[in-house]
Amino acid sequence: MANKLTKDLERRHAAACDLIASDKPLDREEQEQVLTDFQASSTARNGLDGAFFTPLGLANDLALHVSGDRIIDLCAGIGALAWSCQDAWGRRSLGRAPREFVCVERNPAYVEVGRRILPEAQWICGDVLDLVDRTDLGPFDTAIANPPFGPIPRIRDAPGCSSRRFEYHAIATASRLARRGVFVSPQQSAPFRYSGRHRFLQERDRDCERFEHSTGIRMNHNCGIDTTAYRDDWQGVSPAVEVVVCNFDRQACDAR
């Protein structure tokens, strides 16, 4: 593993790998165990991809903003966000069919794990920035993502976006696929400061203003999620983040 783990974390990661390698379908408790204990740093690409798995508590809070039947998870990792957004019990109680998920992840090792976590989803092993060329996927009701943060190497720019911040390219790509989006964003890249603060502040830095101006995308605040509640639940990091909500232009999305 790229990062040194404690013996307890190594033991739990090994147990998660045993579940992944088993022949039987995983029940919900086992899926949660894998999502909690599988270490992102176990793959050599982790550092290059900038992957940090979303804590399940934060994923559950983000799910409050997810609506609709078709969901796409960009930079899906092993599927924590999509798994948390199923709302299986609620939809079943209302007589609704299960949500349809498409999960996009470029690390094949993560895709292999994700297919065990959410086997009913369509998993695409590829770069999210290639999705703008595909006409066979959308439209989606909601796009979700916890993308890599910052100046991560990328194969191309998303439409209308020239920022060095990869999270903005993920959001711009989502705008071409879905009617709305919910994203984990670095606090610096969000248009507001709420988590860990005494009061809510609207605050956009120059890069944020430039992104919104060049793409026409307006990033909005959430229903009151303080992400610092999950600061200690990340693997090996404690990033300052916010949950950003975007309502993309529906007519423009349907026309693409």
Listing DSSP states for 18-30 in one string gives HHHHSSSPP-HHH
Strand segments, DSSP code E, in 137-209 are 140-145, 178-186, 192-193, 201-202
Instruction: Please report, to the nearest 10 degrees, the dihedral formed by the alpha carbons of residues 10, 49, 71, 30 taken in order.
Output: -10
Kindly tell me the burial class for residue 155, based on how many C-beta atoms sit within 10 Å of its own C-beta (0-12, 13-18, 19 or more).
Answer: exposed
Note the pLDDT of residue 47. 53
- Contact in structure between 181 and 143 (CB atoms under 8 Å): yes
Q: How far apart are CA 200 and CA 203, in angstroms?
A: 9
Local mean pLDDT, 10-residue blocks, the chain (256 residues): 76 96 96 95 61 93 97 97 94 94 97 98 97 89 96 92 97 97 97 95 96 96 95 90 90 43
pLDDT at res. 52: 85
Which range marks the domain in which residue 204 is found?
51-247
From the number of C-beta atoms within 10 Å of its C-beta (0-12, 13-18, 19+), residue 160 rates as middle
Collapsing DSSP states into helix, strand and coil, what is residue 40? helix
Confirm whether 58 is domain-assigned: yes
pTM, rounded to two decimals: 0.92
Burial of 103 (0-12, 13-18, 19+ CB in 10 A): buried
| DSSP code of residue 142 | E
Predicted pLDDT at 4: 75
Q: What is the pLDDT of residue 48?
A: 54
pLDDT of residue 251: 38
* pLDDT in the model for residue 236: 79
Q: Would residue 133 count as lying in a domain? A: yes
Residue 9 maps to a domain: no
Are residues 82 and 54 in contact, defined by beta-carbon separation less than 8 angstroms? no
Has residue 10 been placed in a domain?
no
Number of structural domains the chain divides into: 1
Tell me phi and psi for residue 179, to 5 degrees. Answer: -80, -25
- Domain assignment of residue 93, yes or no: yes
Q: Contact 184/207 with Cβ under 8 angstroms?
A: no
Q: For residue 23, is it within any domain?
A: no
What CATH number did the domain enclosing 99 receive?
3.40.50.150
The answer to the question of residue 45 being in a domain is: no
pLDDT at 133: 87
- Domain membership of residue 18 (yes or no) is no
CA distances from 147 to 16, 83, 96, 142 (A): 23, 16, 29, 15
CA dist 83 and 35 (Å) reads 9
